[in-house]
Structure 1
Amino acid sequence: MSDTKMDPESGEPDRSSLGAHDEANRSLGYSSQHSSQTHLQHQMDGLQRCLQQRHIQMIAIAGTVGTGLFFASGRALSLAGPLGALFAYALVGSVAYASLCSFCEMTTWAPISGTFPHFAERWVDPALGFAVGWNYFYTNAILTAVEIKAAVILMTYWDKNTHHAVYYTIAIVVLICSLNLFGVRWFGEAEFVFSTIKIMLIIVLLIAGLIIDLGGGSDHDRIGFRYWKHPGALAGARLVANIHLDRFLGIISAIVLAAFSYQGMELVAIAASETESPRRNITKAVHRVLYRIIIFYMLGVLMFGMLVAHDDPALLQSSGTAAQSPFVIAMSHTGVKVLPHVVNGAILTSAFSAGNSFLFCSSRILYGLAIRGQAPHFLARCTKSGLPRNAVLISSIFSLLSFMESSSGAETVFEWLVNISTTAGFLSWLTMNFTYIYFYQAIQAQDRDVRENAYNNKFQPYLAYWGCAWTVFFILINGFKVFFGKFKASGFITAYINIPIFFFMYAGYKCFKDTKVWKEMERDLVGGIPDRDETELPEVPAKNTWERIFRVIF
């Protein structure tokens, strides 16, 4: 990549020095304006690569596993039964994995700031990058508040008093915002610790669940697949009288819940611009995500479906504490009293971890929008250590939404925000897969070999087609319950309002900036993208057996 001179007055890259770069790209068919713009954005990027291999691997394995897995899974079991819940989590897991594969393949090609909104701008249409960037920003900003609120509710398991304001302050200021403001290395260390706790918790729960299922509990009752036979493998959503239709609606309900549990899995690729040797480490990380889906989600759902009947009254509780977790319900039935406290504490760290991750994502997306001129310029400033402090501070403001619990009206508004963020998450998955299809077309048209990329999946572009089709389906069914029983306009609006908002942002930016959809030969595959020698450090061979084991794990 060519060196670029800096303007001594503005401190920004001198546009006159981009000429040679433009000539190189014109020879490949790219427009001069498009290629010089992407090169300029790269020169403005002030982030530094401080996340190490062990950080990014643990983030990939358990970075955004939050309260959704531990609580939403129980609700999914009560609505769809053990088989229905397993099917729902398997289906959504395949879509999440397809989306991540598409995203990571583009990321290893271009490990730069802005991630998939920037890819949408570069390879599809600048208006799409604008729309999905702001869409994803407020999705993660809202989810930060959701996880903080979940953490405070978990505290009520031990403290029944109304000390919520104190807990919110501690969670927001001390444990979420501070970790992000200290810098990306502190964020990485925190996620390494949090992820280790989550992994240990899930492994312990799976082993304990297997022991209990085989008759190792205090009552020595061998459960096996008893609850799959009675009350049955499928449950109903309790929305219609027809049992077959109700069971189908139960599976649809479980799909919506499962999708919320999987959201945020793309964090590992969003952190690529701040990761050492991103092409090598992101490639390793994406392979581990498949194991995460199988071990954490699929085995977890299978295990609690064996341990708890779908009509167990405890599943219908809405305490938000460990008492609602299907694992704790199973342990309680065997007379184990200390485990709920341990599980509640571990889930509490999961809530902090997920909130920490969502704040990181929202701030980096906002920073990426700023360096592309799609957000105020002051948000593009970085400290000397590479921290986009202004973007972090603005993103942190949304965490104050977690205080919305003082009245029923505020609680309703908060639930609306959760529903909006769920639809926004589906739109982000759709854009990742859609952008990949355009990226793949450009690779083919420009006579590039996809195998030259550090990571490539042999099932592409079919994975992207799979992801696109199912995310459209998820968007359409997100608010299906409003059509059964008494129609509620508020429920319909919160489930689907984000769709017109997304297209309004797209159409508005397209008209205002007069953007166009890039043709195959105009999609810039090289401008502002660092070469491998610029990003990849030499891999030091393992010195002994312990180091080799450590590298296999991390």
Structure 2
Amino acid sequence: MRTDKKQATVVGDVLEAGNGSVYELTIGGETGDSTRDVYQRIQRRKLLPRQVSMIGIGGAIGTALFVSIGSKVLQGGPASLLIAFCLWSVVFIGLSTSMCVMATYLPVTGSFVHYTSRFVDKSCGFAVGWTYFVCQAANVCFEITAVCLVIEYWTDKIPKAAIISALILLFAALNLYSVFFFGEGEFYLSIGKVVLAIGLIIFTIVVMSGGNPQHKVLGFKTWNNPGAFAEYITTGTSGKFNGFMACLVFALYVFWGVDYLGNAASEAMNPRKVVPASFKKVFGRLIIFYIGGAICVGVLIPFNDPDLKAALEEGAAGAGASPYVSAMKTLGIGVLPHIVNVLILTSIISAGNGSLYSASRVLHRLALEGQAPACFKRVTKRGVPIYCCLSVLIICALAYLSVSNNTNKVLTWFLNVETAAMAIVYIFICVSYLQFRKGCLVQGVDLKSLPYYSKYLPYLTWHSLFWLTLMLFVSGYTVFLKDNWDVQSFVFSYFMIPFFVIFYLVHKLFYKTRFVRPEEMDLFSGIKELAEEDAFWAENPPKTNLFDKMFSFLL
């Protein structure tokens, strides 16, 4: 209940509200340890609505959308790329919707790891958690290494070790002090991604209409000459199929971000209101940026573009490998490539920052579940899992491998591991939702009464599960083609599958866990505490200032 006492203190189970009033937390008419847990959770919810919304957008826009996408146009052609992106947009809408239902019902740390343990099987949760941790820790190293390439676009005189050290210190500053610092840093860094994505779409529209130094009207000429589908590895129909598959596998890596928003739900203010709104608005932006991006690249360059081919063969750094920059050079536009490279740099830093946050929160969840050393349970007064963050920062030292090895080679090592790992994680998000839904139906919980409901589930979930499972096993299929066997490609493409299976079996045999039955599923632990949080946020919504209102279009 709420009283209008004008004081700014916390006594017992009385929580100060942001507006000067005092809110007394009660659960079932009593106060106690559970009430104090509610108080602590509210105090740790530091992510503002605009920060959560931008985390969702930033996590959904990767640097591959601006750089690596060019190589896939060369391999598959503009039509293959567009079809692949359209297909994965539907897959990830289903995945996002499934995640949103669970994340708004139970906005907890390490969201999907907890859901897998609670609704499917604890051994699955253990294996999913460690798979995700390895993936995100590897992605931090990937992004740090990628920054070295971006800076090489301007100069190669700065030592790689100095760049790597500076980035590790930057990530430490953003993540170790307060989750608010992380949210604010990610907010501004993600703005760079959005500006870049929108700017390149506008650039394409202007250029294709004849607004370029050569006054050439591009239209969709590249779809006719040299064509819409490219041949890859082989020739003829099979070559065009291989080109399409290259784009399809690439899209699996590009369409990341669902997990970031799910993790942010545990530290978001008023999560049951803010998170659904963020998920809903991300859908439209995903379609605009990704499908729009695929169309733009297909318009700007043909699949036989000699400049882009030469740049990729020579290992061009940063924006030098971007199809947009290749088009700018062809059309005689000299200043924009440097601006694009700056924004690509902010995008990479944002991706690394988000991955460090996600890896540390999942490690914290594993510790809370008793599946990681107890020291990782420790959090600071500001709610930061300090040892979890420090452990990921230590792992970042693997990025120093690029100092003595070819940078592109190191990037490939990290990238192949991440793609398969994320496919496994996303598969179990779908499985967790299907089990959660079954438990609700068996125990008589009305799905429409949940904080978030979609009439398109579980159909979209099954659709997403099918494609994710298929791609997990066929993502490295090219190594099985005639005269195309490569041990390194095979190992890195499929390494995470035995990794997951071994972790699962070891935990299963040691702890003898069993799959959760729908009738025995725990659907209600923590719900009363969350109801108290809902009541608090209803009476004391997050404060907004003029700056927040300026960005209200994100909420």
Q: 2:192 aligns with which of 192, 197, 201?
A: 197
Structure 1 spans left out of the alignment, 5+ residues: 6-19, 22-37
Instruction: Judge conservation of contact 1:404–1:414 (CA < 8 Å) in 2.
Output: no
Q: CA deviation at 1:532?
A: 3.1
- Matched residues in 2 for 1:409 and 1:115: separation? 36
- Matched residues in 2 for 1:195 and 1:45: separation? 26
Q: 1:362 aligns with which of 351, 359, 364?
A: 359
Q: CA deviation at 1:204?
A: 1.6
Asked if residue 450 in structure 1 is aligned to residue 443 in structure 2, the reply is no
Q: Which residue of structure 1 lines up, in the alignment, with residue 22 of structure 2?
A: none
Asked if residue 212 in structure 1 is aligned to residue 207 in structure 2, the reply is yes
- Matched residues in 2 for 1:544 and 1:358: separation? 29
Q: Which residue of structure 2 lines up, in the alignment, with residue 338 of structure 1?
A: 335
Q: Which residue of structure 2 lines up, in the alignment, with residue 459 of structure 1?
A: 456
- Matched residues in 2 for 1:369 and 1:304: separation? 41
Asked if residue 98 in structure 1 is aligned to residue 80 in structure 2, the reply is no
**Count of paired positions:** 518
- Cα 1:468/1:446, change in 2 over 3 Å: same
Q: 1:267 aligns with which of 254, 260, 264?
A: 260
- Matched residues in 2 for 1:47 and 1:245: separation? 58
Q: Which residue of structure 2 lines up, in the alignment, with residue 500 of structure 1?
A: 498
Structure 2 spans left out of the alignment, 5+ residues: 1-11, 13-26, 29-33
Q: 1:240 aligns with which of 212, 234, 240?
A: 234
Structure 1 residues 492-531: Cα deviation after superposition (integer angstroms, max 9, x where no partner): 1221121111111111111100101011111111112333
Matches within 5 A, 1:17-96: 48-96=44-92
- Matched residues in 1 for 2:541 and 2:525: separation? 30
- Cα 1:337/1:413, change in 2 over 3 Å: closer
Q: Which residue of structure 1 lines up, in the alignment, with residue 379 of structure 2?
A: 382
Structure 1 residues 164-207: Cα deviation after superposition (integer angstroms, max 9, x where no partner): 1111111122x222211122101110111111122112212111
- Matched residues in 2 for 1:177 and 1:406: separation? 21
Asked if residue 254 in structure 1 is aligned to residue 247 in structure 2, the reply is yes
Q: CA deviation at 1:407?
A: 4.0
Q: CA deviation at 1:461?
A: 0.6
Q: Secondary structure, in 3 states, of the residue corresponding to 1:231?
A: coil
Q: Secondary structure, in 3 states, of the residue corresponding to 1:340?
A: helix
Matches within 5 A, 1:276-425: 276-316=269-309, 317=312, 318-408=315-405, 412=409, 415-425=412-422
Instruction: Judge conservation of contact 2:356–2:389 (CA < 8 Å) in 1.
Output: yes
Q: Which residue of structure 2 lines up, in the alignment, with residue 537 of structure 1?
A: 537
Asked if residue 434 in structure 1 is aligned to residue 431 in structure 2, the reply is yes
The one-letter amino acid paired with 2:552 is R
Matches within 5 A, 1:163-182: 163-173=159-169, 175-182=170-177
Q: Which residue of structure 1 lines up, in the alignment, with residue 21 of structure 2?
A: none
TM-score, normalised relative to structure 1 = 0.88
- Cα 1:409/1:305, change in 2 over 3 Å: closer
Instruction: Judge conservation of contact 1:404–1:411 (CA < 8 Å) in 2.
Output: no
- Matched residues in 2 for 1:97 and 1:313: separation? 36
534-543 or 194-203: which moved more? 534-543
Instruction: Judge conservation of contact 1:168–1:403 (CA < 8 Å) in 2.
Output: yes
- Matched residues in 1 for 2:423 and 2:530: separation? 32
- Matched residues in 1 for 2:274 and 2:76: separation? 38
- Cα 1:220/1:414, change in 2 over 3 Å: closer
- Matched residues in 1 for 2:306 and 2:55: separation? 35
- Cα 1:404/1:544, change in 2 over 3 Å: closer
Q: CA deviation at 1:416?
A: 3.0
The one-letter amino acid paired with 1:339 is L
- Matched residues in 2 for 1:508 and 1:97: separation? 34
- Matched residues in 2 for 1:541 and 1:408: separation? 48
- Matched residues in 2 for 1:546 and 1:453: separation? 32
Q: CA deviation at 1:70?
A: 1.0
The one-letter amino acid paired with 2:154 is W
Asked if residue 152 in structure 1 is aligned to residue 148 in structure 2, the reply is yes
Q: CA RMSD in A?
A: 2.7
Instruction: Judge conservation of contact 2:56–2:257 (CA < 8 Å) in 1.
Output: no
- Cα 1:481/1:455, change in 2 over 3 Å: same
The one-letter amino acid paired with 2:264 is A
Q: CA deviation at 1:72?
A: 2.0
Structure 1 residues 337-371: Cα deviation after superposition (integer angstroms, max 9, x where no partner): 01000000000000000000000000000000001
The one-letter amino acid paired with 2:234 is V
Q: Secondary structure, in 3 states, of the residue corresponding to 1:234?
A: coil
Q: CA deviation at 1:64?
A: 4.8
Q: 1:477 aligns with which of 474, 478, 481?
A: 474
Q: CA deviation at 1:410?
A: 8.9
Asked if residue 509 in structure 1 is aligned to residue 502 in structure 2, the reply is no
Q: CA deviation at 1:43?
A: 11
Q: CA deviation at 1:373?
A: 0.4
The one-letter amino acid paired with 1:221 is K
Q: Secondary structure, in 3 states, of the residue corresponding to 1:54?
A: helix
Instruction: Judge conservation of contact 2:121–2:516 (CA < 8 Å) in 1.
Output: yes
Instruction: Judge conservation of contact 2:42–2:533 (CA < 8 Å) in 1.
Output: no
134-143 or 534-543: which moved more? 534-543
TM-score, normalised relative to structure 2 = 0.88
The one-letter amino acid paired with 2:428 is T
The one-letter amino acid paired with 2:80 is G
Q: 1:141 aligns with which of 137, 146, 160?
A: 137
